[in-house]
Structure 1
Amino acid sequence: MRGKTVFIAGGSAGLGKEIAKQLAAQGADITIFARGQGQLDEAKKEILAERIYLAQTVHAVSIDLGDASKVQDAFKSQDRLPDVLYCVAGGTTHGFFTDLDARDLESCMKKNYFTAAYTAQSILRLWTEDDKAAKTTSQRLRQIIFITSAAAFLGVPGYAAYTASKCAVRALADTLRMEVLRHPDKVSTYTVHCAFPSTFITEAFVEEQKMKPELTKRIEGTLAPIEELEKQYPSATRVAEGIIAGVSRGDFAICDDSPDTSYLFASMIGPSPKRGLGVVDTFLAAYAGWFITPRWRRGWEKMCKREALRARL
């Protein structure tokens, strides 16, 4: 990554910050975007500490990533266009569907889908305009990485708003993966990637545990105390390592942090490219379809029915 410039939307905390730190440790110049300047400044210090040479730059830009015009202005105002864009910004809204109001649904879609859509659209417009004016004939690789969730593959009660927004991000990534092929250019090659992390431990996860319905925790396997969950689930550092490795391999779908996520992706692969040569995903699709996902589904349905019985008692 030495000499590359990376923009990270949602890079002030959690997974976005870990990705920024690891890419800085590989020599990349980093610009992180988020709303809170205080948290951005603290993240910038941590990222600066990971640099491998002093000339590397780290910038922190305060912005509402859910405002398309502000995103466009912020990206235009940077000294350099990035080689890579990570769309990491997001957040969770918990609660059963009938308990949510319209603002909850709109907020979750804005935090997860629109932040990804606006940042990706803005950078693609800037890249394609830059290609038209470019005088160099050397080939440039330009990449967009969407961070969605394993929630894009299944519906878990209590995640109605969140799951829908993450499904939208997956659909956007699938669509853009093909749309960028419309821009054959001697100057740039575009690739799109989509990561589907499952449960992992961050400060935000710890706070979310306080608000999740008990049924949601039971289904996703997070009912235990946080000390036990920290032993069971990966850290943001480990998840970031897997995502960066998946991008380096050229995978469209990145599901490295959990075997369960690989089963879910394989059983819902649709028109997305299979990973690697496709042999493993082909096998997993059949195995998961016959043995894994039906068992999960029946178990989750029983939990929901027991919840109804408890409510009547």
Structure 2
Amino acid sequence: MRRNILITGASAGLGEEMARQFAAKGYNLALTARREDRLAALREEFLGRSPGITVTIHKLDVTVDEQVFSVFREADQAHGQLDRIIVNAGIGKGAPVGTGRPDANRETLMTNFIAAFTQAEAAMELFRARNAGHLVFIASAAALRGLPKTITAYAAAKAGVSSLAEGLRMEMLNKPITISTIYPGYIRTAMNEHVKNTPMIVDTVPGVQSMVAAIEAEKAKAYVPSWPWGPAARFMKVVPLPILKRMI
């Protein structure tokens, strides 16, 4: 059993709900995010419902490399050993390329891809040392194709995460370090509440339940929820661009 789990970006959205569901299952948690006060409130909530677990909180800005390495090592020591690390922290900023907001697009790329790469470095350092562990990347259905307008940078970053995970998975084949990539479709969170066109959106709790189930099964890849996002993913990979553009 992967008993000790670290989750980045655990103060809100998918990370918060994953933490809540893993806590309910009896897992020990290392929760990281920039908002330490929010993490403290979640710790109190989780311990109130599941008093037998251990929950540590760690303030972390994933775009600061030194913090990522120090916090991962600190959490690993605090729990005796981290068994699973979930690379989840991300943002949803973005603007059409060339419209005067390169800052927003760069911030999205730095947080969602470069910082994810740093988290992978820190996680794999721990896992390689003991030749064991489960590294989980939260990608997105947006990673499957290049996408237009405000989500171009976001989709590109998540495609990078998907490629990073696959490269590590290939290297770790037949070894005791497992790599999983989770591709959520539209799951309702604060990040996407302002988006007008959200077809096939799923509420937070059932959407995250499907994510947690895929993580627990240690699947190599999972499109979640499997309905409708399994068939939708297969369609997205092959549909011609003009048709995809009309659908978005």
Post-superposition offset of 1:300: 4.4
Equivalent AA in structure 1 for residue 47 of structure 2:
L
Residue 262 (structure 1) aligns with:
230
Which residue pairs with 1:117 in the alignment?
A: 117
- Partners of 1:34 and 1:73 lie apart in 2 by 14
- The answer to whether 1:95 aligns with 2:95 is yes
Equivalent residue for 2:167? 175
Unaligned segments of structure 1, at least 5 residues: 132-140, 210-216, 222-231, 270-288, 305-313
TM-score between both structures, scaled by the size of structure 2: 0.87
Q: Is the 8 A contact 1:4 1:83 kept in 2?
A: yes
Q: Deviations over 1:241-285 (max 9, x none)?
A: 11121123332111131545323543677xxxxxxxxxxxxxxxx
Q: Does 1:62 align with 2:59?
A: yes
Q: Distance in 1 between matches of 2:86 and 2:49?
A: 18
Residue identity matched to 1:178: M
CA distance in 1, matches of 2:231, 2:242: 16
Shift of 1:63: 1.2
Cα deviation 1:45-85 (Å, max 9, x = unaligned): 3332342xx33111111111112211111122231221001
On the 8 A contact 1:8/1:20 being kept in 2, the answer is yes
Distance 1:85 1:302 in 2: 38
Instruction: State the one-letter code of the partner of 2:203.
Output: S
Is 1:105 the counterpart of 2:105 in the alignment? yes
Are the counterparts in 2 of residues 84 and 144 from structure 1 also a CA contact under 8 Å?
yes
CA distance in 2, matches of 1:250, 1:62: 27
Answer whether contact 1:13 1:43 (CA < 8 A) is retained: no
Which residue does the alignment assign to 1:281?
Answer: none
Question: Quick one: distance in 1 between partners of 2:247 and 2:122?
Answer: 43
- Kindly state the Cα deviation for residue 193 of structure 1 after the two structures are TM-superposed: 0.6
Tell me which amino acid in the other structure corresponds to 1:150: A
Alignment of 1:78-157 (within 5 A): 78=75, 79=78, 80-131=80-131, 142-157=133-148
1:13 equivalent in alignment to 2:12: yes
2: distance between equivalents of 1:73 and 1:300? 43
Partner of 1:277: none
**Percentage of matched positions with identical amino acids:** 25
Larger relative contact order (Cα-Cα within 8 Å, sequence gap ≥ 6) = 2
Give the 3-state SS of the residue equivalent to 1:85 in structure 2.
strand
- Aligned mates of 1:100, 1:125 — CA distance in 2: 39
Q: Which runs of 5+ in 2 are unaligned?
A: none
AA in 2 matched with 1:60: I
Please give the per-residue CA displacement for 1:214-266, whole angstroms capped at 9, x wherever unaligned: xxx45x54xxxxxxxxxx62122212211121123332111131545323543
Where do residues 286-305 of structure 1 align in structure 2 (5 Å cutoff)? 289=238, 293-294=239-240, 297-302=241-246
Aligned counterpart for 2:184 among listed residues 181, 197, 201: 197
Deviation at residue 38 of structure 1 after TM alignment: 1.8
- Figure out how many residues of one structure are paired with residues of the other and give that number: 244
Are 1:22 and 1:50, in contact at CA under 8 Å, matched by a contact in 2? no
C-alpha contact 2:94 2:105 (8 A) present in aligned 1: no
Q: 1:301/1:17 Cα in 2 relative to 1: closer, same or farther (>3 Å)? A: closer
Give the superposed CA RMSD. Answer: 2.4
CA contact (8 A) 1:93 1:104 kept: yes
